[in-house]
Amino acid sequence: MVPDRAAGLSHLAQLEPRSADAAGSTALENIDGPRQFAAHTRKYPCAPAKAAPYLQVIPTAEDPIEVPDCGAPNPNATLTTKAISIKPGGSRSALARLGAATALEPRYALRAPRGRPFFVLGAALTSFIDPAGNPVSNDLVNAFRIDLPAREDDQLLDIDLATIPALPSRTLRMRAELPQVAGTPFGAGTRALASVLSADSALTLGIFSSSTATSDARAFDLSVTLVTTDIAPERPLTQAVLIAPDGSRSVRTEQGIAAEGTNWNDFAAPPTVRDPDAPRTARDPIPLDGFPPGAELTVRVLAGGQLFWIQYGPPGGPRASSFTIPYRDEIASTDVQVFAVSVVAQSDRVDLPSYGSFYRRAASSRDLRVSKR
């Protein structure tokens, strides 16, 4: 199969504040354990002029979300940002990463903090995408960083990549071995990715470059283009991902930048759900007999292709043999009639003060089809 070539170059730009702001949001409540909400103040980017706290569902930190841009002249305007998780009673800045844009066009809009210095970290890539829209490879043309002083007004920043010194980069090579367990979904058609990102802001430092299956089809050789720049005091994470044809996946994450030649050979097998194709409604219990002992449970509910709900199980793993989606006003009132439910098993949690924590191993099931009634 010959992948389709993306037209022209794609540009990735990311904004990053120079200093942390821990007063951006505070935890409001954690209802029944699984549901987590947060109250955000006017410092939250989706409502820069809003003084009163309001409710916002909080997915996990890797999920991009679209939120209303209450400070824009257009009342229907939205902006894309990164969701953050906040523990009950804790707080964390909602301006950790201020925005990202990936575009084939040379111009894009990003939101920066008013009155605070920041920098722009960007890259120009030649990307190869398969007919299903999956990334096959990325070739770095150049990467750049621009440090900017605090400003109180809007500005148009013209960036001539030909005149900006390119950041140094190197290729980081790793191997990801498929889990060799009975019933694993990682067969023909499996894909593998890898990257290096900041634990504190999800700023991308290592861009996925390529993935090649080994001759015995039991592993993938991965390459990442690692950009060299100082993001201290933020802490990098290296992450490798296996994606099965049915959509289930397994993720391995380690703190720091992985050593050259790292072999990821302990991916967790995705949790299984008995009778995954059985008809289910949102009120039916979903069995957990295929959930790995000791792993912590997270359930993702999607509606209309967007993350709609997230449930967190108790520490140490679920204590029941099944779970039920909380059928509350949010589900009862939505027009969506069919939901997709994914069961996630997470283990080996590593605490990162001020950020929270991450899991060294996480694996998610294929999506389950659940009807509203």
Whether the Cβ atoms of residue 174 and residue 258 lie closer than 8 Å to each other: yes
pLDDT in tens, 219-244: 999 999 999 999 888 899 999 999 99
The DSSP letter of residue 304 is T
pLDDT in tens, 323-332: 888 766 566 6
| Residue 123: both structure tokens together | 């890259």
pLDDT at 31 (0 to 100) = 27
- Arithmetic mean of pLDDT, 89-101: 47
- Arithmetic mean of pLDDT, 89-96: 41
pLDDT at 248 (0 to 100) = 95
pLDDT in tens, 63-89: 444 544 444 444 455 545 444 444 444
pLDDT at 102 (0 to 100) = 66
Sheet holding 37-40, edge to edge: 25-29, 37-40, 54-57
| Mean pLDDT value across the chain | 76
Q: 186: closest CA among 277, 118, 248?
A: 248
Distance, in Å, from the CA atom of 249 to the CA atom of 246, rounded to the nearest integer, reads 9
- Arithmetic mean of pLDDT, 49-69: 43
Weakest mean pLDDT among 86-95, 96-105, 121-130, 250-259: 86-95
pLDDT at 15 (0 to 100) = 61
CA atoms 63, 68, 70, 76: torsion sign = positive
Q: Is the pLDDT of residue 265 over 60?
A: yes
Name every residue whose Cβ is closer than 8 Å to that of residue 196 and which is 6 or more positions away in sequence.
172, 204, 205, 206, 224, 226, 236, 237, 238, 239, 257, 258
Q: 289: closest CA among 333, 250, 323?
A: 323
In degrees and rounded to multiples of 5, residue 102 shows phi and psi of -125, 120
Sort strands 262-264 and 169-177 into parallel, antiparallel or unpaired: parallel
Distance, in Å, from the CA atom of 291 to the CA atom of 317, rounded to the nearest integer, reads 9
Q: Which stretches of the chain are DSSP H helices?
A: 329-333
pLDDT at 60 (0 to 100) = 39
- The CA–CA distances, whole Å, from 210 to 12, 30, 175 equal 17, 41, 11
- Arithmetic mean of pLDDT, 283-305: 89
Which amino acid is it at 324?
T
Give residue 103's pLDDT band: very low, low, confident or very high (50, 70, 90): low
The DSSP letter of residue 155 is -
Most confidently modeled range among 25-29, 198-202, 295-299, 319-323:
295-299
Q: Is the pLDDT of residue 6 over 80?
A: no
Q: Is the pLDDT of residue 109 over 70?
A: no
Residue by residue, DSSP assigns 77-146 as: -EEEEE-----TT-B--S-SS-EEEEESSS-------TTS-EEEEEEEEEEEE-TTS-EEEEEEEEEEEE
Q: For the whole model, what pTM was predicted? A: 0.74
Q: Is the pLDDT of residue 288 over 80?
A: yes
Give residue 333's pLDDT band: very low, low, confident or very high (50, 70, 90): low
Distance, in Å, from the CA atom of 304 to the CA atom of 340, rounded to the nearest integer, reads 9
- Arithmetic mean of pLDDT, 299-318: 84
Phi-psi label, residue 305: left if phi above 0, alpha if psi -120 to 50, beta otherwise: left
Dmax (CA) for the chain in angstroms is: 61
Q: 58: closest CA among 28, 32, 102, 97?
A: 28
Domain locations in the chain?
A: 4-16+99-264, 21-82, 286-371
pLDDT at 171 (0 to 100) = 97
Which amino acid is it at 69?
D
Weakest mean pLDDT among 147-161, 231-245, 293-307: 147-161
Q: Is the pLDDT of residue 47 over 90?
A: no
Give residue 100's pLDDT band: very low, low, confident or very high (50, 70, 90): low
CA atoms within 13 A on the CB side of 248: 22
Sort strands 64-68 and 306-312 into parallel, antiparallel or unpaired: unpaired
- Arithmetic mean of pLDDT, 291-304: 90
